[in-house]
Structure 1
Amino acid sequence: MGKYALITGASGGIGQAAALKLASLGYHLYLHFNQNEKSIKELLAQVKPFGGEYITIQANLEDPEGYKKICSQIFSLDAIIHCSGNSHYGLLVDTNQQEVESIMRVHVTNPLLITKELLPKLVKKRSGNIILISSIWGQTGAACEVAYSTAKGAQISFVKALSKEVALNGVRVNAIAPGAVETPMMGQFSEEDKQLLQYEIPMGRLGLPEEIANGVKFLLSDDSSYITGQVLSINGGWYT
């Protein structure tokens, strides 16, 4: 019997890449999305040849109770990969309360509550993995992305704290902090802006979603069996 993994934000660039990687490894998947049903249908067509069980779950993680809709549909479970995300670009003084609450619910509150509700399934098995896709901005902070940086920093603190709490239960908790990755979230920047960004990155290019998915594969594997509470930076040498 194969392992089961929940991927939140499976319709996004990194979520899709992680889903494809895990499907190729024989995982059965719970694929969460909110509005992008078209992307999920395309993803289902891509993973179908791997022959696993793929269950889609629609839920809005901007809703304070969005986590309940996801958790009510999860049965067997071996891993949680939190990929859901949204962004806000602008000065903090121009950021309204609704935007702040949206960022925090999607990146912090609902992921924390999803994990809380599903953690007993992993503890009972005395094995499992939880991975949060954080950000380089959670490590270094970014002007004009203060709310986003705050949320991503909170994810890293969550990983460090929870990993200590569940280590003796056989559950590992880690984060991945991508740098600039070629996903639809980068669509808010012009080609000129992205070109300038690439000049700042020592490797001279944006990352690919598949490269983040490779990090997920590593953290789920036995090759990382003694790694917990850590942040894997996949950023092309940017801000290191």
Structure 2
Amino acid sequence: MTPNKTVFITGASRGIGRAIAIRFAAAGYQLALCCRQNTQLLEDLQQLIISQYHTDCLIFTGDTGDYHQLEAMISETIARFHHIDVLVNNAGISYIGLLTDMSPDDWQHIVNTNLTSVFNSCRLAVPGMVHEHSGKIINISSVWGCCGASCEVAYSATKGGINAFTQALAKELAPSNIQVNAVACGAIDTEMNAFLSEADRIALTEEIPSGRFGRPEEVAELVLDLAQKHSYLTGQIIRLDGGWI
């Protein structure tokens, strides 16, 4: 168990974020969780965590791409728990379609949600970590941030931005004993991939050397490992993709 450690997780109401929250709760962390609009799902998760894992859990609904909204969430978290030891940036949306069909508003929305949110959370959480001379920042990225995907230009651009952000911030924060890493996920079996037809799922599975989609719980296990260990591992983009890319 990890007494008096606090993790702040964005995009925590479902999928990978929910799995990460449950894994950290099982490890004894205090949790602060946020999502953009799925308040009921987040409330259900909060009740599960409190009743099953007997640890404290704050929840927030708001836009992590809005600096002032996130500032209020992080301020309340610090007021309650006094510090944030681990920051997990998981909030993200996808957009499937041709670049020429994408509106400027669509572009700005995905950039704010996927990339600006990472700046916002780090800008707000890092000073406390520097003061404590300790901290872990784990950004949830994608293999498409490493190589790009057709019809996912905006998504690939934001995830590529997260990868570069991770590597640069790691260099800034290493002297303060703060490690910054990213997990570049491959095909993970979440609602984000629910649009795939059965035929598409089979075809995609055949491309993956491991022969299956990844599970959210596998992402969560890796994130917890990065949070608890590896003080010399920083600035890394760790692909979790079954050998796909």
Pair in the same fold by TM > 0.5: yes
Q: Is the 8 A contact 1:156 1:175 kept in 2?
A: yes
Q: Tell whether 2:35 aligns with 1:33.
A: yes
1:212 is matched with which residue: 214, 219, 230?
Answer: 219
In the superposition, the TM-score normalised over structure 2's length comes to 0.93
Deviation at 1:207, TM superposition (A): 0.5
Q: Deviations over 1:21-66 (max 9, x none)?
A: 1001110000101211222122123212211110001112354644
Give 1:69's aligned residue: 72
Q: What is the one-letter code of the residue matched to 2:8?
A: L
Gaps of 5+ in 1: none
Q: Tell whether 2:196 aligns with 1:186.
A: no
Instruction: Measure, in 1, the Cα distance between the counterparts of 2:198 and 2:72.
Output: 38
For the residue of structure 2 that corresponds to 1:203, the secondary structure is: coil
Matches within 5 A, 1:82-97: 82-97=89-104
Give 1:152's aligned residue: 159
Decide which moves more: 178-187 or 31-40: 31-40
Matches within 5 A, 1:68-147: 68-75=71-78, 76-147=83-154
Decide which moves more: 61-70 or 130-139: 61-70
Deviation at 1:70, TM superposition (A): 2.5
Q: What is the one-letter code of the residue matched to 2:70?
A: Y
Deviation at 1:73, TM superposition (A): 2.0
Gaps of 5+ in 2: none
Instruction: Measure, in 1, the Cα distance between the counterparts of 2:219 and 2:164.
Output: 20
Runs in 1 of length 4+ with deviation above 6 angstroms? none
Q: Is the 8 A contact 2:177 2:231 kept in 1?
A: no
Q: Tell whether 2:231 aligns with 1:225.
A: yes
Deviation at 1:114, TM superposition (A): 1.6
What is the root-mean-square deviation of aligned Cα atoms in Å?
A: 1.3
Instruction: Measure, in 2, the Cα distance between the counterparts of 1:229 and 1:143.
Output: 27
Give 2:56's aligned residue: 53
Instruction: Measure, in 2, the Cα distance between the counterparts of 1:23 and 1:152.
Output: 27
Q: Tell whether 2:243 aligns with 1:237.
A: yes
In the superposition, the TM-score normalised over structure 1's length comes to 0.95
Instruction: Measure, in 2, the Cα distance between the counterparts of 1:70 and 1:194.
Output: 37
Deviation at 1:86, TM superposition (A): 0.6
Give percent identity, aligned residues only: 37
Decide which moves more: 203-212 or 185-194: 185-194
For the residue of structure 1 that corresponds to 2:150, the secondary structure is: coil
For the residue of structure 1 that corresponds to 2:91, the secondary structure is: coil
For the residue of structure 2 that corresponds to 1:211, the secondary structure is: helix
